[in-house]
Structure 1
Amino acid sequence: MNPTQLLADVQYQFARSGGAGGQNVNKVATKAELRFSVRDSALLTDPQRTVLLEKLANKLTTEGELVLTHQTERTQLGNKEKVTKKFLKLIGKAFETPKPRRATKPSKSAVAERISNKKHKGDIKANRKKIALD
């Protein structure tokens, strides 16, 4: 699935950014807010929807809507591009399948070396004991 196709269902809203910036912050609505409804998207199949609902559960609202914001740039367009990149990266990461883990075991020489090291350390500690004179 290509995440860029989902941009058709994305809605943008703009608000005033917070933080430093002087008078420009008080006048211009540069903060970009991206909203994407996972539950209501017509472009997602049911398996894709369940994957997104499961993997992005802590980022979704109670209505199943993904809300991302960006406000570091000084322009609306810059913040819109950044929040769109953030969205595409997040969706792409959600659909990635992890590489399967291949079970391995240590080689015979590694096991033998570990045991000989343990034996050596044990001998060193045994030599620290007081000698009993009976």
Structure 2
Amino acid sequence: MAGALRVGASVVIPRADLSWRFSRSSGPGGQGVNTTDSRVELLFDVARSTALSPTQRARALQRLAGRLVDGVLSVTASEQRSQLRNREAAERRLAHELTAAIAAPPRARRATRPTRGSVERRIAGKKRRAETKRLRRPE
């Protein structure tokens, strides 16, 4: 938590680009649940970040379009009772989301044809099945 947030192998987000919000977490937690702000919301401005290259920024904006509000990605964590552990969980989630969003697109599939042998095996199997069914019919 001391240094910058590493996202994948090539991207490092400075702490200045991250903003935090804390609030009370819902659910069970005993006496401390009403007094401690253990729920964490981590905000990252994808649209204005200098940590991402223009290509990575464009990919992230396109792939995360449904999750962004004014270009800002919000990740929340409230599973743990400790604020520190929720902060760590939120950072992991943000790193995972951004890694998936800025990944290069998969290579295009090249169309192939089935081999002659596989076609012949498929047709032979169909003929065997049809013959079995034909023999079951009453005459």
Q: TM-score range by the shorter chain?
A: 0.7 to 0.9
Q: Of 53, 63, 73, which aligns to 2:61?
A: 53
Which structure carries more helix by proportion?
1
Q: Of 11, 19, 22, which aligns to 2:27?
A: 19
- 1:78 paired with 2:85, answer yes
Return the TM-score normalized by structure 1: 0.83
**Aligned partners of 1:34 and 1:68 also within 8 Å:** yes
Q: CA deviation at 1:39?
A: 1.6
Among all aligned residue pairs of Structure 1 and Structure 2, give the percentage whose two residues are the same amino acid. Answer: 35
**Corresponding residue SS for 2:114:** coil
Q: CA deviation at 1:6?
A: 5.0
Larger Rg: 1
Are the structure 2 counterparts of residues 58 and 6 from structure 1 closer, same or farther at C-alpha, using a change threshold of 3 Å?
farther
Give the equivalent residue in structure 1 for 2:6. Answer: none
Q: CA deviation at 1:91?
A: 0.7
**Aligned partners of 1:3 and 1:88 also within 8 Å:** no
| Cα separation, 1, equivalents of 2:66 and 2:18 | 19
Q: CA deviation at 1:102?
A: 4.8
For structure 1, which runs of at least 5 residues remain unmatched after alignment?
none
Give the equivalent residue in structure 2 for 1:107. Answer: 115
Return the TM-score normalized by structure 2: 0.81
**Corresponding residue SS for 2:12:** helix
**Aligned partners of 1:4 and 1:88 also within 8 Å:** no
| Cα separation, 2, equivalents of 1:13 and 1:37 | 14
Give the equivalent residue in structure 2 for 1:95. Answer: 102
Are the structure 2 counterparts of residues 47 and 6 from structure 1 closer, same or farther at C-alpha, using a change threshold of 3 Å?
farther
Question: Per-residue CA shift, 1:107-129, capped at 9, x if unaligned?
Answer: 33222111111111222233344
| Cα separation, 1, equivalents of 2:78 and 2:51 | 28
Are the structure 2 counterparts of residues 73 and 129 from structure 1 closer, same or farther at C-alpha, using a change threshold of 3 Å?
closer
Give the equivalent residue in structure 2 for 1:119. Answer: 127
Q: Of 47, 64, 70, which aligns to 1:39?
A: 47
Corresponding pairs, count: 130
